[in-house]
Structure 1
């Protein structure tokens, strides 16, 4: 069992000027805007040179959430960005759009700062052209949503300055409960599992880059990410090596039956490296088959909320189990009207 829990925030917005999201670059643009706003609005040492001290990072929301150097050797963050579910190049002024933000474990304690930063992002703008007045939007509402139970809470209402701290946390128990439904669907479909990779997914293992959705590599990186998030932000412990080996053997027995994916080449500027970093990956649908999915299903279901592969913080590695009729990320509607308040 893993103590990993996380809360998905759904941010409903309306563009007040034209806004350039650049399709699959949207996650990177949204993350950069969020990071910049949090640093200058929250951190008293915004113009500091070098990494933050451990003492400072422990109390500063921006550095705790954003700075890898606060935890040497770790590349995980306590948050991840979800770009619009379908890639959007440009949002016209007056159009509604939405995006997501996930807070893992202890990251939820900084919810009020994240909400303030999201509103400020709309004021200063995101994406190309923001210095020329583009990229502005008004934050209309924020919902916390658990896709596995349907639980939804309105955290910020239109025109209301009060943020309600009501998590709708996703846990392994919820994923395990849905595993029976997925198993039934797989039996009906001849044990064929369909996965949609919604944002560029970059899988690397032992210095090798995989440009096809190899299941064993995909699942291995997914299991590592789930365990790393649980260890860093939820008080978890290292998984028993025998359990890891058993799950990896089960994953190696899965076969890739069909791959309708394509590679998207993308780059991002790294302030730490002072150079461009490749963040491209594959998108599209893959179909897999296994004789026994049972040990893998809870982790595949849970992992939809964690992303997989490189740079999940920038919106990469978002996937969805297409075999299920109700899509995990269906609430992140991209363009359209905000969701209702729900429960």
Structure 2
């Protein structure tokens, strides 16, 4: 149980002002521009580009969202090199690639834990990104609306109407009770996972194509326990060794998983990066009851590397 774990989900509705040429996985374009715009917006230094790592660390909206650091009172955690960022961008994948001026497009932004308190900064950053332009060649967009929505109940709250931010509300976040209730509705003996975007899961230093169930659970536990600790203020209290031992008894059934290669250009590293991963469906059989809550959380925050781009997105078929 992770009583304080909470996600909030926002739908950003955009309108193209120029023709937009987007990549197959749009989350990478929005994420790269978003980081640049947020840093320029909030950095107090004149040479904000050179403020790396962020001088204010978690006290700066950019530092917290993109370069989260371990708290000083937790020296045992300083060995961690990859603290996950508390957001995920879920954007259309391999669908429409060109948007004519005037057309509508959008993406969802998932925030974890206290990252939700920075929503006004994030809205302004995406406004600025629209003025600067995205894609190759760059095209501008206007941010028309931002809606908070519950991914399972359908409830919505308006947060930005195209001119002003709407304060208050925020009653549509997903808390532990929502997760537990949805997990309890899943079958306990057979589950099928459908991976929509390239999923990059490493086991024994190698990216896998056909992951055993315990390999997926290790990746989920790493991600969710870190998100809970650094962004929700709660350490994972379960017996991880016992859970992983139980995961090793789960059998793999039919699988259509296959590897897809994909590249993006990293403005920070000034080079092209290969971010391929597996997509498709895989079925598991066994005593899955102890894993249903973790699997349900994973549908909200994704699994594996490059989740902030939208990679590792999956759902549970029939859920």
- TM bin, normalised by shorter chain, reads 0.7 to 0.9
Distance 1:49 1:70, change over 3 A: farther
- CA distance in structure 2 between the aligned counterparts of 1:285 and 1:215, rounded to whole angstroms: 13
User: How far is the alpha carbon of 1:214 from its aligned partner?
Assistant: 2.9
Structure 1 match to 2:53: 51
User: How far is the alpha carbon of 1:289 from its aligned partner?
Assistant: 2.2
Structure 2 match to 1:38: 38
Distance 1:250 1:95, change over 3 A: farther
1:151 matched to 2:168? The reply is no
Structure 2 match to 1:172: 176
Structure 1 match to 2:203: 205
Render the CA deviation track for 1:136-187: whole Å, top value 9, x for unaligned: 2222211112223333211112x3312334332212221111123222xx6x
User: How far is the alpha carbon of 1:310 from its aligned partner?
Assistant: 0.3
- CA distance in structure 1 between the aligned counterparts of 2:17 and 2:258, rounded to whole angstroms: 33
- CA distance in structure 1 between the aligned counterparts of 2:267 and 2:103, rounded to whole angstroms: 33
Render the CA deviation track for 1:215-274: whole Å, top value 9, x for unaligned: 22112211221110000011112434xx21222233222222222233222334556766
User: What secondary structure sits across from 2:7 in the alignment?
Assistant: strand
Structure 2 match to 1:119: 127
Structure 2: runs of 5+ lacking an equivalent: 72-77
Structure 1: runs of 5+ lacking an equivalent: 325-343
Structure 1 match to 2:22: 21
1:236 to 229, 234, 237: 234
Contact persistence 2:147–2:158 (CA under 8 A):
yes
Structure 1 match to 2:86: 78
Contact persistence 1:172–1:298 (CA under 8 A):
no
- CA distance in structure 1 between the aligned counterparts of 2:60 and 2:135, rounded to whole angstroms: 26
Structure 1 match to 2:142: 138
- CA distance in structure 1 between the aligned counterparts of 2:256 and 2:12, rounded to whole angstroms: 30
Contact persistence 1:141–1:155 (CA under 8 A):
yes
TM norm structure 1: 0.82
1:1-343 to 2 correspondences below 5 Å: 1-2=1-2, 3-24=4-25, 26-45=26-45, 46-53=48-55, 56-67=56-67, 73-84=81-92, 87-130=95-138, 134=139, 136-157=140-161, 159-167=162-170, 168-183=172-187, 191-240=189-238, 243-269=239-265, 276-290=272-286, 292-324=287-319
User: What secondary structure sits across from 1:232 in the alignment?
Assistant: helix
User: How far is the alpha carbon of 1:118 from its aligned partner?
Assistant: 1.5
User: How far is the alpha carbon of 1:7 from its aligned partner?
Assistant: 0.7
Structure 2 match to 1:336: none
Contact persistence 2:159–2:167 (CA under 8 A):
yes
- CA distance in structure 2 between the aligned counterparts of 1:278 and 1:166, rounded to whole angstroms: 40
User: What secondary structure sits across from 1:127 in the alignment?
Assistant: coil
Distance 1:38 1:268, change over 3 A: same
Out of 5-14 and 274-283, give the one that drifted further.
274-283
Contact persistence 2:256–2:281 (CA under 8 A):
yes
User: What secondary structure sits across from 1:12 in the alignment?
Assistant: strand
Structure 1 match to 2:74: none
